[in-house]
């Protein structure tokens, strides 16, 4: 029975190929902190380019710390992670802090596996991240 596929497999495969996966990034500023609310999938191709473009706009047009909200990010591959690392370096070179908020269990596991959880400031709530970025209290990133 090698090569047997489930009923409807061809239809499913066509749907997967035809479906365009997007990422949406909404940018706002609160208390001089640029907040990026990211939603969807960040992976090789169009979505990684859109994510990178959003980070580049923040780098060029805004000043101060950056909070990236990952609560609605379903998936991020190594391309998205690479963009994030590259922009972390650029923001750090400019003396700007970056915090990640509410990464999914899968993304947090990836960050821990690659030991990037020690590089990024990661928080489970927006209020903790905002306090850290604005110096409002002694909030510390999770380990």
pTM over 0.75: yes
Q: b or e along 42-81 (b: 16 or more beta carbons within 10 Å of the residue's beta carbon)?
A: bbeeebbebbbebbeebbeeeeebbbbbbeebebbeebbb
With a pLDDT cut of 70, the percent of the chain lying above it is: 81
Give φ, ψ of 23 to 5 degrees.
Answer: -120, 145
**Tens digits of per-residue pLDDT, 113-132?**
999 999 999 999 999 999 99
The pLDDT of residue 16 is above 60: no
Note the pLDDT tens digit of each residue in 81-100.
Answer: 999 999 999 999 999 999 99
Per-residue pLDDT band for 17 (boundaries 50, 70, 90) equals very low
């Amino acid at each position: 029975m090698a090569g047997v596929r489930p009923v409807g497999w061809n239809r499913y495969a066509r749907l997967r190929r035809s479906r365009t996966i997007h990422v949406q990034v909404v940018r706002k500023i609160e208390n001089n902190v640029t907040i990026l609310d990211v939603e969807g999938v960040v992976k090789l191709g169009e979505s990684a380019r859109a994510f990178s473009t959003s980070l580049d706009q923040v780098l060029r047009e805004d000043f101060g710390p950056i909070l990236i909200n990952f609560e609605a990010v379903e998936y991020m591959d190594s391309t998205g992670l690479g963009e994030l690392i590259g922009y972390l370096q650029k923001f750090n070179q400019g003396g700007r802090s970056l915090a990640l908020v509410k990464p999914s269990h899968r993304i947090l596991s990836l960050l821990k596996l690659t030991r990037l959880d020690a590089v990024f400031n990661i928080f489970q709530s927006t209020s903790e991240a905002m306090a850290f970025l604005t110096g409002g209290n002694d909030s510390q990133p999770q380990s």
